[in-house]
Chains A and B, each alone.
Chain A
Amino acid sequence: MTQKLKKFWLINSPSLTSSGSAIKDSDATPSIGMLHGGVDDATCVYSQWLSTTYRPNSPRAASFYKLWRAIDLMRRMPEGHDMHVDTKVAEKAIQFLAKVNSNWEVDAPKLLPDNEEALTLTWDYGTIKRFLTVAADEFDLMDINKRSRVRCTHEVLDDESNSYEALLSKMGWLPRTESVDTLPNA
């Protein structure tokens, strides 16, 4: 009787937050957080698995990714279409979101189509709803108290070299510290 034997080494740690490791992998499968290993003879597979907080497919990352895809689709809509947005505006929004995703502690916003010349990102903070309108040459930031309907508006011109800094200072987000688990990635 020939019995095929496979051995796996399972490393399991709720508190382990490493990056995982890239180990010989015959399946070309990305290694992070997955069970995988190298085949060293006909019958045995040796593997190890590392628990990790690295989450390439985290819900937050997926939300940002869907947002980028939606904006890219809007950019490719024919001019004159209700959902079309100017390429320069779309690229500016995508770059802004990528930066936010990687560097700041905030969830992905919702997308509110505006017109060809701008699009609006929205966040809900309890009684406050925040609208960030991205246009080719400026950001407009507006907060609305949902109960009183009182509005607070800020304008951040993009011709200032520190426009992102000025904008982000108004947003009040904390910078991300760790890079291990920042991921769509974020």
Chain B
Amino acid sequence: MWQSLSIQFSIFANNADAVRADDLFVALFGEDPSSAQRNRFPSPDNPFYSAAGGELKDFACQIQVQPARIDIILGPVAISQDEAFVTIDTISSYGRLAPAIIGHDWSGLQISRLSTFTDLGTIASSREEATSRLLACAGIGLPFVDGTDFSFQVNRRKKFSFDSDTLMNRIVRFHEISMQRVQFVLGDGHVGASSVNASTFGAGLLLDYNTVPSALLIEPKNVAPIYTELVQNLLLAASAERPLEILAES
């Protein structure tokens, strides 16, 4: 299946501001972040209480803490001029990040919701091919071949095995991607930009797996089993040629 542009864990907690991003980075990965910032009063322009980032060998990681939400994001380390898409392997990325999240002690946080999501992508030679790949992946047929702007989203809830009262959302979204490479030239009084190539297209698949909101808080002891199941289910879909068939199985 396609590779990930990034993977992300989001923890919705009423008292998220009790966490400092740089402290969490150290707790999760055992090393200091290469950059960190704190904000005494978050604003719309700079909405984070704190943010921290650093490289973890093959990955780059960002942690962002904002009101009622903590985001932990894993992406590619560097961008190559030869690649239009910079992706990371979905399974190895989750293998790097998920154990740290699942093994962390989240007690003290008033957690109302847990989420993990990833966006998978692949390059297509044309817009028609991108649409064709999306249709094949979704198992959907159209009575014409020159359609554009294809998007399709569906959610199928599922019970967690450890607690039948807790439900997960399994959102699968197929969508087109368009890309443009632009070259900026600076120097000797000349500043300009030009398109290096025409638009390039791709097919994208967003997998957003999260707990269905309820009025009850999630007990810290349940963070590990919830995230374990969310990740397992997401990876099943991410590995499948036809993710909707995975949703159909349960």
Query: Would you give the 0/1 interface string for A73-105, flagging 1 where the beta carbon is closer than 8 Å to chain B?
Result: 000000000000000000000110011011110
List A1-57 residues whose CB lies under 8 Å from chain B. Answer: 1-25, 27-28, 30-32, 37-38, 40, 44, 46-48, 50, 56-57
Residues of A within 8 A of B118 (CB): 19
- Closest chain A residue, CB of each to CB of B169: A177
In the complex, are the beta carbons of A1 and B188 less than 8 A apart? Answer: yes
Q: Which of A37, A50, A179, A186 contacts B5 (CB 8 A)?
A: A50
Main secondary structure of the interface of A (DSSP, over half): loop
Query: Would you give the 0/1 interface string for A103-119, flagging 1 where the beta carbon is closer than 8 Å to chain B?
Result: 11000000000000000
Q: Is A176 part of the binding interface, using a Cβ–Cβ cutoff of 8 Å?
A: yes
Distance A77 CA – B51 CA, assembled complex (angstroms): 30
Residues of B within 8 A of A131 (CB): none
A68-B67 CB under 8 A given contacts A11-B179, A18-B6: yes
Contact size range, B? 35 or more
In the complex, are the beta carbons of A25 and B35 less than 8 A apart? Answer: yes
In the complex, are the beta carbons of A102 and B48 less than 8 A apart? Answer: no
Q: Is B228 part of the binding interface, using a Cβ–Cβ cutoff of 8 Å?
A: no
Distance A95 CA – B51 CA, assembled complex (angstroms): 22
In the complex, are the beta carbons of B79 and A48 less than 8 A apart? Answer: yes
- Closest chain A residue, CB of each to CB of B116: A179
Distance A69 CA – B77 CA, assembled complex (angstroms): 36
In the complex, are the beta carbons of B177 and A11 less than 8 A apart? Answer: yes
In the complex, are the beta carbons of A15 and B216 less than 8 A apart? Answer: no
Counting chain B CB atoms within 10 Å of each CB, the highest count among A2, A57, A168 belongs to: A57
Q: Is A167 part of the binding interface, using a Cβ–Cβ cutoff of 8 Å?
A: yes
Distance A151 CA – B208 CA, assembled complex (angstroms): 41
Q: Quote the shortest CB–CB distance from B217 to chain A (angstroms).
A: 8
List B228-242 residues whose CB lies under 8 Å from chain A. Answer: none
Residues of A within 8 A of B51 (CB): 28, 30
Distance A7 CA – B182 CA, assembled complex (angstroms): 7
Which one, A58-66, A120-128, A142-150, is touching chain B? Answer: A58-66
In the complex, are the beta carbons of A101 and B115 less than 8 A apart? Answer: no
Q: Which of A47, A56, A99, A180 contacts B117 (CB 8 A)?
A: A180
In the complex, are the beta carbons of A38 and B48 less than 8 A apart? Answer: no
Distance A10 CA – B200 CA, assembled complex (angstroms): 11
Residues of B within 8 A of A153 (CB): none
Distance A3 CA – B78 CA, assembled complex (angstroms): 24
In the complex, are the beta carbons of A19 and B66 less than 8 A apart? Answer: no
Residues of B within 8 A of A167 (CB): 215
Q: Is A155 part of the binding interface, using a Cβ–Cβ cutoff of 8 Å?
A: no
Residues of B within 8 A of A102 (CB): 12, 68-69, 112-113, 213
In the complex, are the beta carbons of B75 and A22 less than 8 A apart? Answer: yes
In the complex, are the beta carbons of B188 and A3 less than 8 A apart? Answer: yes
Counting chain A CB atoms within 10 Å of each CB, the highest count among B64, B68, B71, B112 belongs to: B68
Q: Which of B75, B81, B117, B196 contacts A21 (CB 8 A)?
A: B75
In the complex, are the beta carbons of A183 and B69 less than 8 A apart? Answer: yes
Q: Which of A2, A28, A185 contacts B53 (CB 8 A)?
A: A28
In the complex, are the beta carbons of A21 and B178 less than 8 A apart? Answer: no
Residues of A within 8 A of B69 (CB): 102, 182-186
Residues of B within 8 A of A9 (CB): 79, 81, 84, 179, 181-182
Distance A32 CA – B41 CA, assembled complex (angstroms): 20
In the complex, are the beta carbons of B204 and A185 less than 8 A apart? Answer: no
In the complex, are the beta carbons of B177 and A48 less than 8 A apart? Answer: no
Distance A180 CA – B6 CA, assembled complex (angstroms): 12
Q: Is B14 part of the binding interface, using a Cβ–Cβ cutoff of 8 Å?
A: yes
A165-B184 CB under 8 A given contacts A17-B175, A24-B77, A40-B78: no
Q: Is B135 part of the binding interface, using a Cβ–Cβ cutoff of 8 Å?
A: no
Q: Is B161 part of the binding interface, using a Cβ–Cβ cutoff of 8 Å?
A: no
- Can you spell out 15 A-B residue pairs with CB atoms less than 8 angstroms apart? A7-B196, A16-B119, A17-B119, A24-B55, A25-B53, A30-B62, A32-B62, A32-B64, A57-B44, A65-B67, A99-B14, A102-B112, A103-B113, A104-B213, A179-B10
Known: A23-B78, A25-B60. 6 other contacts (CB 8 A): A3-B185, A4-B187, A9-B179, A19-B118, A98-B112, A165-B215
